[in-house]
Amino acid sequence: MRVYLDNNATTIVDPHVFQEMEPFFVQKYGNPNSLHSFASETHQPLKDAMERIYAGINAPREDSVVVTSCATESNNWVLKSIYFQYILTGRKNHIIVSEVEHPSVMATAKFIESQGCRVTYLPINHEGLIDAQSVRDNITDKTALVSVMMANNETGGIFPVQEIGEICKEYNVPFHTDAVQAVGKIPVNVQSFNVDYLTFSAHKFHGPKGVGGLYIKKGRELIPLLHGGSQMGGLRSGTLNVAGIVGMGKAMEQAIDALDYEMIDVRAMRDNFEDELLKIEDTFVVTPRDKRTPNTILISFRGIEGEAMLWDLNCAGIAASTGSACASEDLESNPVMEAIGADADLAHTAIRFSLSRYTTQEELDYTLEVVKKAVKRLREISSSYAYTPNR
């Protein structure tokens, strides 16, 4: 049996999405900017897709939604543009991010810092969450941007974007949120809270890879990251990824249709699975369930290296993760576990199971049996487990 429980890394493309994309590879392959029928036959499908995307996040017509190549691009764009607009010009000198942002925010913040900008990295609390108050404590009249994610990719922890948005509004500081792990899992409605920029990525909600987006509120315009053409109103040059945009539109529509299923049924499956995992001795979950996206479990099995557990799971056909997908080739401990100050033994033992609407009960039952066997086997050969104090 093969079981895919790494849906925070990427998801299967929904067959309906694939079906809608297919004609745009070998039949309707025109460049939308050309002046012939090969081009014009892409216009209506692109318009429909954009409408679905706007509707998916409830973006008003007057605001912009720009299609990018991925969330990494969207996140880089916001931070780098703010740097060009405010920091480089000397109008402001400071940005605020959380210390557990995805590397596409974190590494960009570090780059901006290396260029002379002051960066505040907000700490997470013992539940792996951000306290909105910490934004208020750090915001100044020199702050050019606050960037705090909507849901964390490791724990699924939902951050208080509503309160953070309010604080940013009060100080008139632009607020960016990376909603990559939120779309399709919890409601994402740009009109329900104060947000100026919002990032998303199709492959996290059963769309194709290589296409993402950035919502930009009217009046919060950015400097383009890619110059060269008139695509996306000149905000993001490059020949449009027609199949990708059509796919993202359909995926967004499907994600909204499936939101109740995700929030009720997937959550119930996740909770049961988690209950069973927690029955295994010396297991530990950081973020409370009701403060998490419905599909995610980050769990530590004391005494077992995350990589060793992944190996056993993979041998049994099960895909999970130890950290962010981008960090899977090095053996660093889980960044969130480190940030909450978990001791080294726990920080290296975190495994992330992330479900999707395609996950079945049968798959979870099978995974549970494999995990139980792996825990037994690996603890028997673990040098740290027997000697762990305070057990």
11 binds ligand PLP (CB under 6 A): no
**DSSP E strand stretches across 28-130:** 64-68, 94-98, 118-122
Min dist CB 41 to ligand PLP, Å, is: 28
Q: Give the x/- contact pattern for ligand PLP in 203-222, rule: CB under 6 A.
A: ---------x----------
β 212-216/64-68 pair status: antiparallel
Is the C-alpha dihedral spanning 68, 71, 76, 77 positive or negative?
A: positive
- Among residues 20, 178, 305, 338, the one that binds ligand PLP under rule CB under 6 A: 178
Q: Give the x/- contact pattern for ligand PLP in 322-361, rule: CB under 6 A.
A: ---x------------------------------------
259, 252, 244, 355: which is closest to 18 by C-alpha? Answer: 244
The residue among 152 and 283 lying less far from ligand PLP, judged by its C-beta, is: 152
- Among residues 72, 241, 254, 322, the one that binds ligand PLP under rule CB under 6 A: 72
- Among residues 92, 102, 250, 379, the one that binds ligand PLP under rule CB under 6 A: 102
Which residue type sits at 157? Answer: G
Which two tokens mark 184? 């399709």
Angle at CA of residue 273, ends 267 and 274, nearest 5°: 85
70 binds ligand PLP (CB under 6 A): yes
CA distance linking residue 90 with residue 351, whole number of Å: 44
CA distance linking residue 92 with residue 83, whole number of Å: 9
The residue among 75 and 333 lying less far from ligand PLP, judged by its C-beta, is: 75
- The Cα-based distances of 334 to 150, 156, 342, 375 in angstroms read 19, 14, 10, 19
Q: Interacting stretch for ligand PLP, rule CB under 6 A, among 64-72, 188-196, 226-234, 360-368?
A: 64-72
Active site residue 315: no
Min dist CB 210 to ligand PLP, Å, is: 8
Q: Which residues here bind ligand PLP, judged by CB under 6 A?
A: 70-72, 102, 104, 149, 153, 178, 180-181, 201, 212, 325
Active site residues: 326
